[in-house]
Amino acid sequence: MSDSGDLLAGRYRLRQRVGSGAMGVVWEATDERLQRQVAVKQLLQQAALDPERADEARERVMREGRVAARLHHPNAIGVFDVVLDDGMPVLVMEYLRSRSLADILAEQHHLDPATVARIGGQVASALAAAHAAGIVHRDIKPANVLIAEDGTAKITDFGISHATGDVVVTQTGLVAGTPAYLAPEVARGQRPTPGSDVFSLAATLYAAVEGAPPFGTSEDNALALLYKVAEGAVPAPRNAGSLTPVLGAMLRADPDQRITAAQVGEGLRSVALGLPLPAPVAEATAEWGSRTGTPGATATMPSTSGGRTATDMPPGGEQGSAGPDRTLLAPGAAGKQRPPRLRKRAYLFAAVALALLAGLGLYALLGPDEERGAGSAVSMAAAERERAVSEYYALLPDRAEQAWSRLGPELREQGKQPYLERWSEVSAVAVTSSPRATGDDSVRVEVELSMPDGSVVTEAHELTLIAAEDELLINGDDVLRRDVDAPAPDPQPSPQTPQEETEPQPGQGNDDDDEEGEPEEEEGEDQDEQEETPPPAEDDEPPEDETPPAEPPEEEGGTEGE
């Protein structure tokens, strides 16, 4: 790790450390080239990552840092540069003299609804702009909301959490950090979406007004909290006042039922100004789950012995209630209790996600025999992903309709008709580099696209897959490289083509001028033809001079040379 006074990338002089955490260290620095103050974030390599996964994490940080740099918004910390220092990514960002919302809450415990609405409205505005640009933050939480002295709120760390993992697995298989602000679908292992950002922002505002996030913190047992988050039942806030309907519209269990970030901004600004809520927000309010405890209460791991808590799963498939009147936060009627099957499914999703997380950490601790067993399981999962990608490209371009059915919801947002039209412009598809599983949910592949004009496009993709019932769907597509080979020229005597196209019109000159650049054999033939022509050909020299004599060939030669 660098020290104060060090120069990074020959440009950024570190001044003083202003913060640190599980992901890295933040420095106040000076950009010596532009002579401006910047914030420099040095990312730490997670000890649990093997070299290959560490390389992938670095590549993803660099790529997503460049994506985040596209976002320009007054309520988002701008990303200026992404560089490598000692092999690790360094993000150069806008410097804002501020305090994080997490620090403010640690000092004041909670804020009044109007203040929270003003902060949330600014953050929602930045999120709406990010979502419009195709950027999902993935890690909205109080620590990533910065508040300046004048009350300006800015969100930071766009795209970085997905690349490095703020909720990471240690070598002992435990989760480092808290998943308290995750959306339920993310806790169940699904890919984050704009709707996930909306839920996480709601959880952040909930914590600001209530003093603790909806599902508690349970920092001593993050795995247990992940179970609770995956269930998705949120108790009604007690101190939110006029903020309550907006939070309810943001905290729906189904991400498709949540209001958008733009609608969140409108609703929160109305709350801050004491105005009536806009129709989309007012109509989207939902029923709350009843409280069986207080926010911040410690979640308990499922147990088959002793008394059950609100998060216990009935043992042995036994049907039972997790509480006397607890209901699911959903658009359904009040008083409906979550069916036991759905409750078990939520726990099952969480258990699968946790098993995958814990398995990564346990893999590093296993001996040779156990390591071989774990490796087989991991390879099987990788093989499934690789096969899914191979089958997808095998359908293209002729069976694009079937290929469309292999896409996840995020890629389907592009629309079916544009997708089919795009593939109708491709003559053939060939996989030139076998699919290779990378990370937990991605596959890299290189394909060659033959186009009708004869050109060949070679593309390297990193595809992200999600599990949907009994199949894997391709839900994300990052193009890592794209090369285009132009079609071969027409099989014609191209050197003569330009001259032939600009030759004098018929009647302006003789064929012997036209054939000036032809091989000697043809010139001989032309000379024979000239010998057969009557002598008046020489008398016709003055009329020939009326046509451009020597200049046009020179001009044509110059054009051809150019």
**Which one, of 106, 184, 471, 507, lies nearest residue 343 by Cα?**
184
Q: Please indicate whether residue 157 is annotated as part of the active site.
A: no
Q: How far is CA 246 from CA 269, 270, 280, 443, in A?
A: 11, 10, 10, 39
Tokens 């220092």 correspond to 85
Are 530 and 512 in contact, with CB atoms under 8 Å apart? Answer: yes
Give the three-class secondary structure for 299: coil
Contact 345, 189 (CB under 8 A): no
Closest CA to 162 of 28, 23, 297, 286: 23
Both tokens of 495, joined, read 């050197």
The strand ranges marked E within 293-338 are none
Distance of CA 510 to the CA centre of its chain: 67
Under 8 Å between Cβ of 448 and 458 = yes
- Tokens 């008046």 found at: 536
Coil, strand or helix: which one is 383?
A: helix
Half-sphere exposure for 234 (CA within 13 Å, toward CB): 33
Residue 336 marked as a ligand binder: no
For residue 123, what are the CA distances in angstroms to 75, 274, 321, 441? 6, 19, 38, 29
> Catalytic one among 3, 50, 81, 139?
139
CA-based torsion, 19, 25, 29, 34: positive or negative: negative
Residue 372: which residues within 8 A CB-CB, separation 6 or more?
A: none
Instruction: Give SS3 for 19.
Output: strand
Cis peptide before 397 (omega within 30 of 0): yes
The runs of H, that is alpha helices, within 288-399 are: 340-363, 368-394
What is the distance between the alpha carbons of residues 230 and 538, in angstroms, rounded to a whole number?
A: 99
Name every residue whose Cβ is closer than 8 Å to that of residue 99 and which is 6 or more positions away in sequence.
146, 147
Q: Which residues contact 523 (CB under 8 A, 6 or more apart)?
A: 515
- DSSP letter (8 states) at residue 309: -
User: Active-site residues: which are they?
Assistant: 139
Cite the annotated binding site for ATP by residue number.
41
Cite the annotated binding site by residue number.
41
